[in-house]
Chains A and B, each alone.
Chain A
Amino acid sequence: MNFTAPRTINRGMELTDIQLMYLVKDGDDAAFESLLQRHQNKLINFFYRLCWNSALAEDMAQETFLKIYVAREGYEVKSKFTTYLYRIGRNLWIDHVRKITRRPKSVSLNSVSYEEMKFSDTIAYEDHGNERFEQVDEKMKNVMHAVDKLPLLQRELFAMVNVEGMKYKDIGSILDIPVGTVKTRMHTMMKKLRADLA
């Protein structure tokens, strides 16, 4: 797909994400602010479901937006804007998890498989594990613990599908896997949660 930047903008019509992104590329800060307003809630909720920690979720969302801003000059339309946004967000999250993961002394970064890792393996889980659940009731606590036990890859699926309006097709393009695989993994994830919550 190759798009040319929309130079003329129809006032009164709401601009699409991609049009806004092109405006950002041209140095329009207000356009960036609109993008921010449009996507901040969902992105923060996405990160919140990954870590159950509002402050961390906001930090991660902020980093994601800043990363997009820094890379604005090289932006080209290859997919939906949300795909681009969540891919960057996801990469940042993976980096973050690697940073906070405990691992044996001699093992290097690459040998830790992100797919198999659970959030309960991380330092953050031990440090803040109990604080995070202070303000929720017993039932929610169980749900949160069950989600914490999911492997991180499945947890991403959980987070994405529970962000409003995210379809399997979108999730597939963010994770770069076919829709069929998303479907299978989603089903595995749900079965696991069902077993834990039963």
Chain B
Amino acid sequence: MNHVEDHITAYIHGEFSDEMRQKISNHLIDCASCQGIFKELKQTQNTLNLIEERVPSSVFSMMVMSKVLDLQAAEAEVDWVLEELEEMKDSPQSWAATFLNSQFPWYLVATVMLLAGIFFMHKQLDSDHRISETVVTINETLPSEMLSNLSPNVLPSIVPEPLESDEVKAMLEELGIDSNFEEELGELIEVNDREKIVDETFHYIFSEKNNKKSERFQVNNRKHIQLVMTEKEEKNKNQAAVNRHVPVQEFFKGMQPPVERLSLPANNVQGQNLKYWLYSQFNGDGSVGKGSSYHLTLNTMISTLILKRRYLNIPFTEASHYSEGDKVLLEQELIQSKIELATTYLKKISAKKGLGKNLYQHAQLTYFLCLLVAEGQNELESSLIEALDFLIGQQNLDGGWSKKFRLRKHQAFSNSNALVTGWAVLAMNEAKRVQSLKNKKNIPPSILKSHSFLNRIVDPRNGQCGFTTRGDGQHVPLCTVMATMARFSMKKSSQLKKTIKFTGDWVDAGIEHEKLTFPSQTDYDFIWFSKLFFKYLGDEEIWHQSTDILIPKLKEKLPKSCWGSLPKISRKLYLELITS
């Protein structure tokens, strides 16, 4: 056999048939020069085999699948545009019919403009451009490209004017791209194929979206959590016997009510003040406080709940034990009248087109409405049914809820938000408990659908939520608490243990509040959510621990502006509801 040097690589890679392999190996034994080459190449291959295999990050497939959902949503929107145009074409009176009959590919214009719209919206939102990728700059010229390609006369006012070169330059500088501007531009001009533009835009929208801010946020705070956790574990080791908080209900079991509890309305100045303050906040029509209709409604609902839970529930028999029965009775009549007044206001509200300005408000108000109905305000049942129907009608295809109201059937499929979804699921779970709503058939399937969404947004590494949803990266702890409550109430959720641990860590970290800075506007939400959370978990101990530390801090903040956009009255009411 001749020398086999040329075959050696293929031999090492196992390419030949058995017969050929045998021949080559026979030759290698005999021929020293070929053997030398073989040894060297084999050694090279062995070195190459040492290169480590990369394991994809655990969220990889999840990220891809979430983008697939985004793609589906966008495709559905394009379909919708086409359908609408078809419909317009069919009706002879339509103004568009004349245009559509004139051979011009209007549907294409509409599609491309829609994509441009999505792109611009996206571009404004996304400040985290990647530096090394000129995709960013390619897309900057897209609108003008589209215009010149399609038709110069088509609605020039809608498509934004292309940026001045100075502006682009400044942008490039900001992004850290120091190369010559003209050089960059040279490559942009070559992108003039229409299909390619659509393709690139699609591509840009759905592949460049990385929620980096949220990642950074999580990484930073995860370190804090770890720190807090280790410190806490050490502390716990030292304190074997911690004074355990006894849940209130158990404490009262089988014994005379202690003085502290019943004397609350009589002796506790703060409680007394709150009640009279509440009375003073009632408006003539039964609403409470001031502000937009959302605030008025929320205030009224919370006030009613506070009145019912805090002041109405003191049984007469217990009160007479302190010979203050008459006073209490009178007091109760007054409270009852206030509650009735509030109910008349709430009854007027129609939920057919949604409560509040957005779905977050709607879902939240629906939740409170459920609580009220569950506590016996049966007059509100019809509004509750309307609110629930509206809520279910607003559910996205992926099972979540977006923040914005969806006015048309096909709009906004995929901006599902963990917070809104959490509120919605809580509201529906609460509604399931209301006896008279048990026959409502559209609630369980809706909850089931949201189940898939809520499971999808869990990061399997540590159980945090809100990673893949848009726009709520800032509120990871809130999203997690909210989504976990929702998932917990559904019982059959995956990764639940991890999520609960993550949430617990956050609350622990919240207890050591000094070390963490929550987004200040959401402090009260966080506490309120975690309160609910532990109610669901049935773990009151940790809640009381956290309340003792956090509530005074919140009270400090009450008069300041850092309590978000809620008016002062709502904030105070919120806090009272939390502490009650």
**Chain A interface (Cβ within 8 Å of chain B)?**
29, 32-33, 36-37, 40-41, 44-45, 48-49, 54, 57-59, 61-63, 65-67, 69-70, 99-100, 105, 108-109, 123-124, 127, 139-140, 143, 158, 161-162, 167-168, 183-184, 186-187, 190-191, 193-194, 197-198
Most-contacted residue by chain B among A44, A49, A100 (CB, 10 A):
A44
Q: Which residues of B, 1-54, contact A by the 8 Å Cβ criterion?
A: 6-10, 12-13, 15, 40-41, 44-45, 47-54
Q: Is B268 an interface residue (CB 8 A)?
A: no
What are 20 pairs between A and B in contact, CB < 8 Å? A29-B65, A29-B68, A37-B61, A40-B56, A41-B54, A44-B54, A44-B60, A45-B54, A58-B57, A61-B56, A61-B60, A67-B203, A70-B71, A105-B180, A108-B190, A158-B48, A168-B13, A184-B6, A187-B9, A187-B10
Q: Is B132 an interface residue (CB 8 A)?
A: yes
A66 x B54 contact (CB < 8 A): no
Q: Is B187 an interface residue (CB 8 A)?
A: yes
A190 x B50 contact (CB < 8 A): no
**How many angstroms between the C-alpha atoms of A93 and B202 in the bound complex?**
18
Q: Is B561 an interface residue (CB 8 A)?
A: no
A162 x B48 contact (CB < 8 A): yes
A187 x B61 contact (CB < 8 A): no
A54 x B13 contact (CB < 8 A): no
**How many angstroms between the C-alpha atoms of A109 and B51 in the bound complex?**
33
B202 x A143 contact (CB < 8 A): no
Q: Is B165 an interface residue (CB 8 A)?
A: no
B71 x A66 contact (CB < 8 A): yes
A58 and B60 in contact (CB under 8 A), knowing A66-B206, A105-B180, A140-B50? yes
A124 x B132 contact (CB < 8 A): yes
B56 x A44 contact (CB < 8 A): yes
Q: Is B207 an interface residue (CB 8 A)?
A: yes
Output the least CB separation between A174 and chain B (Å): 16
Output the least CB separation between A129 and chain B (Å): 12
The 9 closest A-B pairs by CB, nearest first: A187-B9, A194-B44, A48-B54, A190-B9, A183-B10, A44-B56, A36-B61, A186-B9, A65-B64
B residues in contact with A69, CB < 8 Å: 68, 71
Report the nearest B residue to A27, measured CB to CB: B72
Q: Is B445 an interface residue (CB 8 A)?
A: no
Q: Is B135 an interface residue (CB 8 A)?
A: yes
B180 x A161 contact (CB < 8 A): no
A40 and B60 in contact (CB under 8 A), knowing A109-B187, A140-B50, A183-B15? yes
A194 x B41 contact (CB < 8 A): yes
A residues in contact with B49, CB < 8 Å: 162
Q: Is B169 an interface residue (CB 8 A)?
A: no
Question: What number of B residues sit within 8 Å (CB to CB) of A?
Answer: 45
Main secondary structure of the interface of B (DSSP, over half): helix
A62 x B64 contact (CB < 8 A): yes
Q: Is B134 an interface residue (CB 8 A)?
A: yes
Which of A45, A61, A139, A186 sits near B10, CB closer than 8 Å? A186
Most-contacted residue by chain A among B9, B40, B61 (CB, 10 A):
B9
B residues in contact with A168, CB < 8 Å: 10, 13, 15
A183 x B9 contact (CB < 8 A): yes
Output the least CB separation between A120 and chain B (Å): 15
A62 x B45 contact (CB < 8 A): no
**How many angstroms between the C-alpha atoms of A61 and B61 in the bound complex?**
10
B residues in contact with A29, CB < 8 Å: 65, 68
B residues in contact with A161, CB < 8 Å: 13
**How many angstroms between the C-alpha atoms of A32 and B61 in the bound complex?**
10
**How many angstroms between the C-alpha atoms of A186 and B10 in the bound complex?**
8
B residues in contact with A139, CB < 8 Å: 47, 50
Output the least CB separation between B350 and chain A (Å): 38
Q: Is B568 an interface residue (CB 8 A)?
A: no
Most-contacted residue by chain B among A33, A57, A66 (CB, 10 A):
A66
A99 x B71 contact (CB < 8 A): no
A33 and B207 in contact (CB under 8 A), knowing A140-B51, A197-B44? no
A187 and B8 in contact (CB under 8 A), knowing A29-B65, A109-B190, A193-B44? yes
Q: Is B183 an interface residue (CB 8 A)?
A: yes
**How many angstroms between the C-alpha atoms of A58 and B58 in the bound complex?**
11
Output the least CB separation between B456 and chain A (Å): 11
A residues in contact with B57, CB < 8 Å: 58
Q: Is B133 an interface residue (CB 8 A)?
A: yes
Q: Is B63 an interface residue (CB 8 A)?
A: yes
Which of B44, B55, B202 sits near A70, CB closer than 8 Å? B202
A193 and B48 in contact (CB under 8 A), knowing A62-B207, A105-B180? yes
Output the least CB separation between A179 and chain B (Å): 9
Q: Is B254 an interface residue (CB 8 A)?
A: no
B207 x A45 contact (CB < 8 A): no
Q: Is B161 an interface residue (CB 8 A)?
A: no
Most-contacted residue by chain B among A61, A69, A109, A190 (CB, 10 A):
A190
B65 x A57 contact (CB < 8 A): no
A41 and B56 in contact (CB under 8 A), knowing A66-B206, A190-B9? yes
**How many angstroms between the C-alpha atoms of A168 and B12 in the bound complex?**
12
**How many angstroms between the C-alpha atoms of A50 and B207 in the bound complex?**
20
A residues in contact with B8, CB < 8 Å: 187
B44 x A100 contact (CB < 8 A): no
Report the nearest A residue to B57, measured CB to CB: A58
A residues in contact with B63, CB < 8 Å: 62
Output the least CB separation between A102 and chain B (Å): 8
**How many angstroms between the C-alpha atoms of A62 and B569 in the bound complex?**
49
Q: Is B513 an interface residue (CB 8 A)?
A: no
**How many angstroms between the C-alpha atoms of A49 and B7 in the bound complex?**
24
Beyond A59-B207, A139-B50, 15 additional pairs, beta carbon < 8 A: A41-B54, A54-B54, A62-B67, A70-B71, A70-B202, A99-B134, A140-B50, A143-B50, A158-B48, A162-B49, A168-B10, A183-B9, A183-B15, A186-B9, A190-B45
Output the least CB separation between A28 and chain B (Å): 12
Q: Which residues of B, 160-216, contact A by the 8 Å Cβ criterion?
A: 180, 182-183, 186-187, 190, 202-203, 206-207
Which of B53, B133, B202 sits near A45, CB closer than 8 Å? B53
A36 and B65 in contact (CB under 8 A), knowing A57-B54, A124-B132? yes
A33 x B10 contact (CB < 8 A): no
A residues in contact with B47, CB < 8 Å: 139, 143, 197
A residues in contact with B9, CB < 8 Å: 183, 186-187, 190
A49 x B51 contact (CB < 8 A): yes
**How many angstroms between the C-alpha atoms of A117 and B555 in the bound complex?**
65
B residues in contact with A158, CB < 8 Å: 48
A167 x B54 contact (CB < 8 A): no
**How many angstroms between the C-alpha atoms of A59 and B97 in the bound complex?**
44
Q: Which residues of B, 49-99, contact A by the 8 Å Cβ criterion?
A: 49-57, 60-61, 63-65, 67-68, 71
